[in-house]
A = this chain, B = another copy of it.
Amino acid sequence: MAENVAIAPPGAFERIALIGLGLIGSSIARAARQFDAAAKIAALDASPEVLARVRELGIADEASDDPAVALRGADLVILCVPVGVCGEVARQIAPFLEPAAILSDVGSVKASVVAQVAPHVPQGVQFIPAHPVAGTEYSGPDAGFATLFQNRWCILTPPEGVDAHAIARLAAFWTRLGANVETMSAGHHDLVLAVTSHLPHLIAYNIVGTAADLEEVTQSEVIKFSASGFRDFTRIAASDPTMWRDIFLNNKDAVLEMLGRFDEDLTALQRMIRRGDGDGLFALFTRTRAIRGAIIEQGQDTAAPDFGRRDGGKG
């Protein structure tokens, strides 16, 4: 039992430096403090407005726009910036990384992040890409909250040759923040997320755009009668435009592949409707219903009607 007497509890770091204090970065800051996962929390952001807000919220011990200041003594550094700029940010901070630091990220795409960041990682620094599969449709330091990662998955995609102890430390950190940790290759991650996240967002953005452009039905009618289904898609389609532009540009192949499947299936469904194939429709609609049941059973969504929306719950 002697191992348990260590000063830092398992999964806790001496000093974490968070780069980019948006929804995810600010949630990590809050969660790290609440769940005692870091002795010190440093925030690094290029935006004076974000830094001012971080100071007002008091969610970090230090807030700076200088990597030399923020990264000094940091044994864990996490890039929390849109995937389109992570290579450039990695290049800028690389000279200031401590020799044995763990460098990680939270990007929704992994192969592209590895390609962008890896060339800048100094010898000795352990680079372990990560993706906490959690979020809301809101952005910025005010949108974060400490329990965002509870019962969500965090996927690590450690490249070959990374120190096993460093992987275990990072996994323990995310476990402390409430997440379940899974490890897979960057390529497989990008395929899985293309289905579970990128394609759904693409479809949502598309249908909201389609509805906004109609001439026969006014935009005010679309808004008025949105509770009949449409409004569900608008939540996802309200997600951060920069983040999502970058995701689609950086996971192009997997997204286009999944979109191709979706499109084939949609053509088949269209054909069923045109031909009046009621049995085919009924069979599909029964099959899809079962998947919802499994998601609820595994604690990945609420069983409350209408997501437990105030206006749709049992009143």
Residues of A whose CB lies within 8 Å of any CB of B are: 84, 108, 133-138, 143, 145-148, 150-153, 155, 182, 191-193, 195-214, 216-217, 219, 221-239, 241-242, 244-246, 248-249, 252, 255-256, 258-259, 261-263, 265-266, 269-270, 273-274, 276, 278, 281-282, 284-289, 291-295, 298-302, 304-312, 314-315
Contacts and interface: CB of A to CB of B under 8 A. Distances in A.
Contacts of A285: 205, 237, 239, 241, 244-245
B233 A200 contact: yes
Given A223-B298, A265-B209, A234 B191 contact: no
Contacts of A273: 202, 248-249, 252, 255-256, 259
Contacts of A269: 202, 205-206, 209
Contacts of A238: 288-289, 292-293
A196 B229 contact: yes
Given A265-B209, A298-B223, A143 B256 contact: no
A153 B308 contact: no
A235 B278 contact: no
Nearest to A147: B315
A311 B302 contact: yes
A273 to B, nearest CB: 5
Contacts of A211: 195-196, 291
A228 B288 contact: no
A232 B196 CA distance: 10
20 contacts: A84-B278, A133-B225, A133-B228, A197-B228, A197-B229, A198-B229, A199-B207, A202-B273, A209-B284, A212-B291, A234-B301, A238-B289, A241-B286, A245-B281, A249-B278, A256-B274, A263-B266, A301-B311, A302-B311, A307-B309
Of the candidates A287, A291, A308, the one having the most CB atoms from chain B within 10 angstroms of its own CB is: A291
Per assembly, the copies of the chain total 2
A138 B314 CA distance: 12
A138 B305 CA distance: 7
Contacts of A143: 305
A213 B260 CA distance: 13
A208 B315 contact: no
A287 B210 CA distance: 11
Contacts of A242: 282
A204 B261 CA distance: 14
Contact of A292 (B237, B259, B261, B302): B237
A292 B234 contact: yes
B225 A292 contact: no
B224 A292 contact: no
Given A138-B305, A210-B261, A291-B234, A225 B244 contact: no
